[in-house]
C-alpha cells in the first residue's frame, strides 16, 4: 500500500486530551465563532425565501470547498471497503454512488460519507475526514494493495483549487434545470438515486449523480480530465 502525505492533526486523541486537561475542555470551547464554509462568501436571502426555494423551485449550492475527498485505487480497493463498511457492493456499477456507512467489527457506526465508483478498481470517498481516516487506518493495518490520495477541504488546502468541484441542485425543478444544462432529459434520473454518468461537451469531465430521493442532484466535475 502506498499513501501520499495528507494534512493530519499533530497529536493523537490521547495527547490532545492530556494537553487540554479533559475531554470536555478539548471538545467544548466557549466563545468559538460559528463555523463557515471556506472560500464561498455567505449569501442569505432570508430563511423563508431559502426554505421556499428548495421546496417549491430550485436552489444551487456550492459544495466544492468544505468536504474532503479520498481517492482509493488498487486491486484490493473493493475488498478494503467491504471490510470496513456495512454497504452491499454486489451491484455497485461504475458511475454510481452510495451513502457510505463505515462500521466497527461490532457494527457500531463510525460516521458516514458519499462513495462513488469511478472505475473497476477506483473509488472516491467524499465528506468529513472521519470516514476517510477509518479507511486509511484499516488500509495501513491490513497492508492492502491500494493507493490513497487525500484532497482536504479548502481551509487546509490553500495553495490550489480543489481537485473536484461539486455543485448541488435541489428542489422539485432540479431535474428540469439539469436537463436544460446537459442538453436533454437523462433516462432514469427520475427514479434512480445516486445514478451517475458523464455529461456535457466540456474537456473537463462532469459526473452528475442523484443524491437523495427528494429532487437533489449533486454534480461532480473533475478539472483537467477528459
Spell out the domain ranges in the chain.
47-64+162-222, 68-151
Distance spanning both ends of the chain, measured CA to CA: 27
Task: Find the mean pLDDT for residues 107-131.
Answer: 93
How much is the pLDDT for 206? 60
Write the pLDDT tens digit of every residue in 171-196. Answer: 888 878 877 877 665 544 443 344 54
For the packed helices 77-84 and 129-142, what is the interaxial angle rounded to 10 degrees? Answer: 110
- Least confident residue range of 53-67, 115-129, 183-197: 183-197
Q: Report strand pairing: 97-100 vs 113-119.
A: antiparallel
Topology classification of domain 47-64+162-222: Gyrase A; domain 2 (3.30.1360)
| Longest pairwise C-alpha distance within the chain | 59
State the pLDDT at residue 184: 61
CA distance 25 to 19: 10
Alpha-carbon gap, residue 150 to 125, rounded angstroms: 9
Lowest mean pLDDT among 75-84, 112-121, 164-173: 164-173
Q: Write the CATH number of the domain with boundaries 68-151.
A: 3.30.70.1400
Single out the residue of 144, 169, 114, 109 nearest to residue 2, CA to CA. 144
Predicted local confidence at residue 90, as pLDDT: 93
Which three cell numbers, joined as nine digits, stand for 103? 462500521
Task: Provide the grid cell at 104.
Answer: 466497527
* Strand, coil or helix: 180: helix
**Digit-coded pLDDT (tens) for 94-107:** 888 899 999 999 99
Q: What is the CA radius of gyration of the chain?
A: 19
**Sheet strands side by side (includes 164-170):** 59-62, 164-170, 217-222, 205-210
Mean pLDDT of the chain: 80
Amino acid at each position: 500500500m502506498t499513501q501520499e502525505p495528507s494534512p493530519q492533526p499533530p497529536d493523537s486523541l490521547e495527547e490532545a486530551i492530556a494537553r487540554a486537561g479533559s475531554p470536555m475542555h478539548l471538545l467544548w470551547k466557549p466563545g468559538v465563532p460559528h463555523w463557515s464554509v471556506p472560500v464561498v462568501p455567505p449569501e442569505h436571502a432570508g430563511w423563508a425565501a431559502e426554505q421556499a426555494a428548495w421546496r417549491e423551485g430550485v436552489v444551487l449550492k456550492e459544495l466544492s470547498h468544505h468536504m474532503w475527498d479520498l481517492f482509493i485505487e488498487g486491486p484490493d480497493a473493493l475488498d478494503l471497503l467491504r471490510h470496513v463498511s456495512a454497504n452491499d457492493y454486489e451491484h455497485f456499477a461504475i458511475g454510481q454512488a452510495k451513502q457510505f456507512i463505515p462500521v466497527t467489527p461490532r457494527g457500531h457506526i463510525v460516521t458516514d460519507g458519499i462513495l462513488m465508483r469511478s472505475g473497476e478498481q477506483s473509488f472516491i470517498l467524499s465528506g468529513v475526514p472521519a470516514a476517510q481516516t477509518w479507511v486509511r487506518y484499516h488500509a495501513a493495518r491490513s497492508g492492502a494493495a491500494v493507493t490513497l490520495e487525500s484532497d482536504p477541504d479548502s481551509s487546509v488546502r490553500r495553495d490550489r483549487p480543489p481537485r473536484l468541484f461539486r455543485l448541488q441542485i435541489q428542489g422539485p425543478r432540479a431535474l428540469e434545470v439539469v436537463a436544460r444544462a446537459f442538453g436533454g432529459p437523462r433516462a432514469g434520473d427520475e427514479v434512480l438515486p445516486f445514478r451517475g454518468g458523464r455529461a456535457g461537451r466540456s474537456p473537463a469531465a462532469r459526473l452528475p449523480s442523484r443524491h437523495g430521493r427528494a429532487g437533489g442532484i449533486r454534480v461532480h466535475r473533475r478539472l483537467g480530465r477528459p
